[in-house]
C-alpha cells in the first residue's frame, strides 16, 4: 500500500499536470485559437479551473498530510508537503463555482479588453472589469485571514509571505531616487530614436536568434506572436511570445529577452511536476525576466553584440556606432506605455498601478472613477496628459484577467534583479567582456545554481539573500541606475 | 433548486468542455509541441483522461437519471439523458487508473510509432504496441456485456449499436466486386502520374483555398501541417491538418478535402456542448470525409475546377487538359499506402486491417507474428511484397493510440457516403454543373439538414436511412464504383 506521502505526491503530480494543461489552453487562446473559438474557450477554461479547485480542496489531502511524520522527511519532501498544505488550505476557502467563474471571467474579460483597446473605449471594458473586481473582492474576502486586507490576500497569490505594508516602503523608496535621476537627465542630450521601418518577419527571426544566443532551448519551447507578450509552460515545454511593430524593433527584441528570462527560469526547474521545484514567487520570476532584459540586454556589452545583429538583419539603419546604439537603447523619455518604458521610468509606472489597485480593493475607488483617477495620477507622476485611453488605463491585460496584486511584483523583480546583478558582478569580474564576445552560458549557470534549481525551497527574500549574501534592499537598484545613467548622460 | 435534468445537463456540459480540452492538447502535441514536451505531455493527457473518467463515472449521474421522468422530455432532452446514461454505464466499468494508463500509453505510443516509422523498424514499436493491446484487452473485458466479444466491445466506442458479425458481410460483399473491377481495369491504359516537384508552401496555400471553396469556416478552425492528417475539435473551433510531399500534391489536397469533410460535420453541430448534438458514429463521420474526398473531390466536375486551381498554383505541370487530369486523379494502381489508395483499392486495405484486428483480439494472433501476418495477407490481397515496414504495418498511427475497431468505420463511411450520394443526386439533378461552376454550398446544406444538425438523435443506420429514404446497403457504393471506373476505363 502506498504511504500517505506517496499518495500526496501522486495526487499533487496530477494536479500540477492539469495546471500545465490550463496554461496550455491559455497559450492557445492567445496564439492559435480561431476567433469563433472564443465562445467556447471560456467554458473550457472554467471547467478546468473547477476541476483544479476541487482537486486542491480534496479532503484526502488534509488526511494524508496529518498522517505524514514531517520530522522524518528530507528538505525537498518537507517543502512539497508544506506547499501542498498551503495550496490545499487556500483551495478549501474557494468554492469550485467561484474558481470556475473567475476563469470564465478571465477568458471573456481578456477578449473584451482586446476589443476595447482596439476601439480605444474604456466604457466598453468597464462592465467586465467591474464584474471581475466583484469576483476578486469575494475571492479576497474568503482568503483573508484575521486582520488581513483584501489586497494582501490577493498579493499572497503572487508574492507569498509579504504584505503591501512591507512592500510599500521598498517601492516608495525608489520614487525620490528615480524622480531625482529624471530631473538630472532632463535637458541633457539623449541617444537618438530609431527611424524608418523594420521588416516584421526579420524582427521575428532576429528575436529567435537572440533567444537562442542567451540560452533559450527551442527543443523545450517555442516563440510565437501575441498581442501581449507572455511566457508560460513547464520545464520541458516553456513557451514564449513577442510582438512586432514596423517602427520599433526594440519592442520585439526586449519583449523577447524579457520572456526568455522567464522561460530560462522555467526550463531550469529541477523537476516538471514537483511543487518544490516551482518558481519561488512572481517577484523572483520577474527578477529573472528583468535581469536578462535590463542588466544584460540593455548593457553596453550586450548592445554591442545586438548592434551587429541588427545590422545583419536590417542593413544600415541610421545609427553610426555601438556607443550611439547603446545610447539609443537607453534613451530616457517620458512615455505612456509601461512595457516600453526605460529603466528610469519603469517603476514609476508600477507605483501608479500599485496605488490604484490598493484603492480599488480598499473601497476608496470604483470602476466608474478609474479612468479619471488613472489620468490624474499619470499627469501628476509623469507630467503628461493621457489623451488616448489605449495608452492609458487600457494598455495592460492584467486586470482583465483578474491579476490584482501582480504589478508590484515587477518592481520587486527589479529590486531583486539588481541585488543579483551586484553579487554576480562580484563573482564574475570579467562578465562584460564575456557578454561582448557573445558568451552568456556562465551567467545562466550562475542563476540556475542559485535560483532556478532551488525552486520553492526558501521564501523569496531568503532565496535572494542566500544567492547574494545580503538582505534584499532597493539600494543596489538605485546605485545601478545612478551609475549607468550617470555615465550615459555625463551627470 | 435545479432539477435533476438541469443538474445532469450542467454536469455533462462541463464534461464535454473538458473532453474538448483533451482533444486540444492532442492537436497541440501533433502540431505545435516542442520535442521535449513529449516527456510531460503523456502525463498531462493521462491526468485529464482520469478526470474525465471519474466525472463520467460520478454516481450522482445515475441518481439524477433515476429522478428524471423520461416520458415528460422532448426528443432532444431524452437523447441527452440516454447518451449520458450510456457514457456513464460505460465509465463505471473502467477504473480511472486504466483510463489514465490508456491515455498515457496512447501519447507515448504515438511518439514511439513516429520514431519507429522514421527508422523503418517494427521491433522498436512492438513493445509499445504489445502494452497497448494488453491495456485494450483489459478494457474490452471490462466493457463486454454477456456474450459480447472483446472486439465488439471496442467497436462499440466508434460504431455503437452494431457488431463485427453485422459489419463483416457488408464489408466482405465489397471484396468480390472490388477485385472483379480491379481485374477488368488491369492492363487498360491509365491516366498519367504527376511528374516533377510541387512547391510545398504553394501546396499548403492551395489546400487552404480548396478548404475555403468547399465551405470550411476558417473563423471557426485552422489548417496546420502534421505527420498524419487529422481533424479534431468542436463546432466553434474545428481544426484540421494536412501534410505535403514535393512529388505528390494530391496527398495534401485530398487529405485536406477529407479532413474538411470531417470538420464540416463538426462545424455543423447544432450545439457545442450537448451530447445530443455530437456526431452519430465514426462511420457517419467517415461518410462525411469520404463523401467530400471522393464523390465530390474526385468527381469529373470538381477535378475540372481543381485543374484550373493547380495551374494557377504551379503553372503548366505537364497535364494537357481537364479530362486527362480527371484520369490522373483517379489513376488505379496497387499501392502500399491506405491513405493514398484509389477508390477501387481503398476498402481492400481496410479489410486487411479489420481481419488482423479481430485476430488480435480473438487471441488468434500476437504482436510477435503481426508483421509477418500483415506482409503475408498484403501479398495475398494485393499481389505485392512489402519490403519496407513503414509502407506496411507501420503506416497507420491508429493502433499506436489504441484505436482498435476504428478501421472498419472507414469502409462503413464509404458505404454510407455512396448511399448519401445516390439520394443527393436524385434530389439535385444539376449537381455536377453546380460543382463545375465552383458552387458547393447547396451540397453542404443538404448534409447539414439531414446529417450534421441531427447529431446523435438516431442510431447510425437509421440516420442514413432517414437521410436517403432507403436502408443502408453496399450496393450504391458498388454501383458508383462500377459506373465511375467503367466510364473512365471504357469497360
Nearest to A319 by CA among A328, A306, A309: A328
A473, pLDDT greater than 90: yes
Give the Cβ contact number of residue A362 at 10 Å: 12
Which residue of B lies nearest to A50 if distances are taken between CA atoms? B14
Specify the pLDDT at position B357: 97
Nearest to B386 by CA among B352, B354, B358: B352
Residues 6+ apart with CB under 8 A from A288: A261, A262, A264, A265, A413, A417, A447, A451, A452
Specify the pLDDT at position B229: 92
Using the Cβ of B220 and the Cβ atoms of chain A, whether some distance falls under 8 Å is answered with yes
Q: Do A221 and B34 touch (CB under 8 A)?
A: yes
Using the Cβ of A225 and the Cβ atoms of chain B, whether some distance falls under 8 Å is answered with no
Using the Cβ of B14 and the Cβ atoms of chain A, whether some distance falls under 8 Å is answered with yes
pLDDT tens-digit readout, A41-93: 999 999 999 999 999 999 999 999 999 999 999 999 999 999 999 999 999 99
Phi and psi at B330, nearest 5°, equal -105, 25
Specify the pLDDT at position A239: 98
Sheet of strand A231-234: strand arrangement: A223-225, A237-242, A231-234
Give the residue from B19, B99, B237, B274 with the most A CB atoms within 10 Å of its CB, the best one to mutate.
B237
Three-class SS state of B357: helix
Residues of A whose CB is below 8 A from B273: 40, 43
A374, pLDDT greater than 90: yes
Q: Do A37 and B13 touch (CB under 8 A)?
A: no
Partner residue facing B34 (CB), from A33, A48, A218: A218
Three-class SS state of A54: helix
Query: pTM, whole model, 2 decimals?
Result: 0.93
CA angle A346, A347, A353 (to 5 degrees): 105
Partner residue facing A14 (CB), from B17, B28, B47: B47
Which residue of A lies nearest to B41 if distances are taken between CA atoms? A17
Using the Cβ of B44 and the Cβ atoms of chain A, whether some distance falls under 8 Å is answered with yes
pLDDT tens-digit readout, A137-189: 999 999 998 889 999 999 999 999 899 999 999 999 999 999 999 999 998 99
Specify the pLDDT at position B146: 83
Give the residue from A237, A268, A270, A271 with the most B CB atoms within 10 Å of its CB, the best one to mutate.
A237
Q: Do A34 and B273 touch (CB under 8 A)?
A: no
- B259 catalytic per annotation: yes
Sheet of strand B231-234: strand arrangement: B223-225, B237-242, B231-234
- The HSE-up count of residue A108 (CA atoms within 13 Å, CB side) is 20
Using the Cβ of B226 and the Cβ atoms of chain A, whether some distance falls under 8 Å is answered with no
Residues of B whose CB is below 8 A from A20: 40, 44
pLDDT tens-digit readout, A327-347: 999 999 999 999 889 999 999
pLDDT band at residue A227, thresholds of 50, 70 and 90? confident
How far is the CA of B2 from the CAs of B5, B9, B11, B64, B82, in angstroms?
8, 10, 12, 11, 19
| Host H or E run for residue A225 | strand A223-225
Using the Cβ of B218 and the Cβ atoms of chain A, whether some distance falls under 8 Å is answered with yes
CA A166/CA B252 separation, integer angstroms: 61
A228, pLDDT greater than 90: no
Using the Cβ of B201 and the Cβ atoms of chain A, whether some distance falls under 8 Å is answered with no
Cell reading at A189: 542630450
- DSSP code, position B25: H
A39, pLDDT greater than 90: no
Residues 6+ apart with CB under 8 A from B445: none
Residues of B whose CB is below 8 A from A217: 36
Which residue of A lies nearest to B218 if distances are taken between CA atoms? A34
- DSSP code, position A237: E
Percent of chain A with pLDDT over 70: 100
Q: Average pLDDT of chain A?
A: 96
Would strands A237-242 and A223-225 be described as parallel, antiparallel, or unpaired? parallel
Which residue of A lies nearest to B48 if distances are taken between CA atoms? A18
Specify the pLDDT at position B491: 87
- Residues A117-139 have a mean pLDDT of 97
Nearest to A248 by CA among A214, A187, A203: A203
Q: Do B236 and A37 touch (CB under 8 A)?
A: yes
Q: Do A21 and B219 touch (CB under 8 A)?
A: no
Report CA dihedral (A308, A312, A317, A321) to the nearest 10 degrees.
Answer: 20
Q: Do A21 and B47 touch (CB under 8 A)?
A: yes
Contact B51, A51 (CB under 8 A): yes
Q: Which of residues 16-35 of A touch B (CB under 8 A)?
A: 17-18, 20-21, 24-25, 28, 32-35
How far is the CA of A242 from the CAs of A3, A119, B323, in angstroms?
45, 22, 50
The shortest C-alpha distance from B126 to chain A (Å) reads 27
pLDDT tens-digit readout, A186-199: 989 999 999 999 99
Give the residue from B14, B30, B36, B220 with the most A CB atoms within 10 Å of its CB, the best one to mutate.
B36
Which residue of A lies nearest to B222 if distances are taken between CA atoms? A34
Using the Cβ of A60 and the Cβ atoms of chain B, whether some distance falls under 8 Å is answered with no
Q: Do A272 and B40 touch (CB under 8 A)?
A: yes
Residues comprising chain B, all counted? 491
Residues of A with catalytic roles: 259
Residue segments in chain B with a per-residue pLDDT below the cut of 50: none
DSSP string, B30-89: HHT--GGGHHHHHHHHHHHHHHHHHHHT-HHHHHHHHHS-GGGS-HHHHHHHHHHHHHHH
- DSSP code, position B300: H
Q: Which of residues 228-247 of A touch B (CB under 8 A)?
A: 234-237, 239
pLDDT tens-digit readout, A380-409: 999 999 999 999 999 999 999 999 999 999
Using the Cβ of A272 and the Cβ atoms of chain B, whether some distance falls under 8 Å is answered with yes
| Host H or E run for residue B223 | strand B223-225
Amino acid at each position: 500500500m502506498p504511504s500517505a506521502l506517496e499518495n500526496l505526491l501522486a495526487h499533487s503530480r496530477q494536479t500540477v499536470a492539469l495546471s500545465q494543461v490550463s496554461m496550455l489552453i491559455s497559450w492557445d487562446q492567445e496564439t492559435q485559437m480561431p476567433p469563433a473559438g472564443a465562445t467556447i474557450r471560456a467554458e473550457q477554461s472554467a471547467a478546468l479551473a473547477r476541476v483544479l479547485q476541487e482537486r486542491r480542496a480534496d479532503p484526502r489531502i488534509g488526511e494524508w498530510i496529518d498522517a505524514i511524520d514531517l520530522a522524518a522527511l528530507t528538505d525537498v519532501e518537507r517543502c512539497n508537503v508544506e506547499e501542498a498544505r498551503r495550496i490545499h488550505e487556500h483551495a478549501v476557502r474557494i468554492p469550485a463555482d467561484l474558481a470556475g467563474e473567475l476563469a470564465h471571467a478571465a477568458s471573456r474579460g481578456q477578449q473584451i479588453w482586446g476589443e476595447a483597446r482596439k476601439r480605444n473605449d474604456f466604457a466598453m471594458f468597464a462592465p467586465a472589469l467591474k464584474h471581475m473586481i466583484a469576483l476578486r473582492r469575494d475571492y479576497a474576502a474568503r482568503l483573508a485571514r484575521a486582520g488581513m486586507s483584501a489586497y494582501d490576500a490577493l498579493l499572497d497569490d503572487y508574492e507569498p509571505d509579504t504584505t503591501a505594508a512591507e512592500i510599500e516602503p521598498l517601492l516608495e523608496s525608489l520614487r525620490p531616487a528615480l524622480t531625482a535621476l529624471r530631473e538630472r537627465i532632463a535637458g541633457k542630450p539623449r541617444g537618438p530614436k530609431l527611424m524608418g521601418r523594420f521588416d516584421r518577419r526579420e524582427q521575428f527571426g532576429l528575436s529567435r536568434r537572440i533567444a537562442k544566443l542567451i540560452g533559450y532551448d527551442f527543443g523545450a519551447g517555442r516563440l510565437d506572436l501575441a498581442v501581449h507578450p507572455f511566457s508560460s509552460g513547464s520545464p520541458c515545454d516553456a513557451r514564449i511570445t513577442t510582438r512586432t511593430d514596423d517602427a520599433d524593433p526594440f519592442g520585439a527584441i526586449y519583449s523577447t529577452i524579457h520572456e526568455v528570462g522567464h522561460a530560462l527560469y522555467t526550463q531550469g526547474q529541477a523537476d516538471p511536476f514537483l511543487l518544490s521545484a516551482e518558481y519561488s514567487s512572481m517577484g523572483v520570476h520577474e527578477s529573472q525576466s528583468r535581469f536578462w532584459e535590463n542588466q544584460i540586454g540593455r548593457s553596453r556589452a550586450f548592445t554591442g553584440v545586438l548592434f551587429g545583429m541588427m545590422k545583419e538583419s536590417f542593413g544600415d539603419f541610421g545609427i553610426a556606432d555601438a556607443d550611439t546604439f547603446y545610447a539609443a537603447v537607453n534613451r530616457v523619455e517620458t512615455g505612456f506605455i509601461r512595457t516600453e518604458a526605460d529603466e528610469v521610468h519603469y517603476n514609476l509606472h508600477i507605483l501608479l498601478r500599485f496605488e490604484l489597485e490598493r484603492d480599488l480593493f480598499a473601497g476608496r475607488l470604483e470602476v466608474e472613477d478609474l479612468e479619471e483617477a488613472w489620468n490624474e495620477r499619470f499627469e501628476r507622476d509623469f507630467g503628461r496628459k493621457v489623451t488616448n485611453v489605449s495608452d492609458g488605463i487600457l494598455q495592460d491585460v492584467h486586470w482583465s484577467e483578474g491579476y490584482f496584486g501582480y504589478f508590484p511584483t515587477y518592481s520587486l523583480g527589479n529590486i531583486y534583479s539588481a541585488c543579483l546583478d551586484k553579487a554576480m558582478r562580484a563573482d564574475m569580474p570579467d562578465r562584460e567582456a564575456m557578454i561582448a564576445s557573445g558568451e552568456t552560458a556562465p551567467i545562466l549557470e550562475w542563476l540556475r545554481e542559485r535560483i532556478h534549481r532551488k525552486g520553492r525551497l526558501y521564501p523569496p527574500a531568503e532565496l535572494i539573500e542566500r544567492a547574494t549574501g545580503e538582505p534584499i534592499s532597493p539600494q543596489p537598484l538605485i546605485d545601478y541606475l545612478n551609475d549607468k545613467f550617470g555615465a550615459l548622460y555625463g551627470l
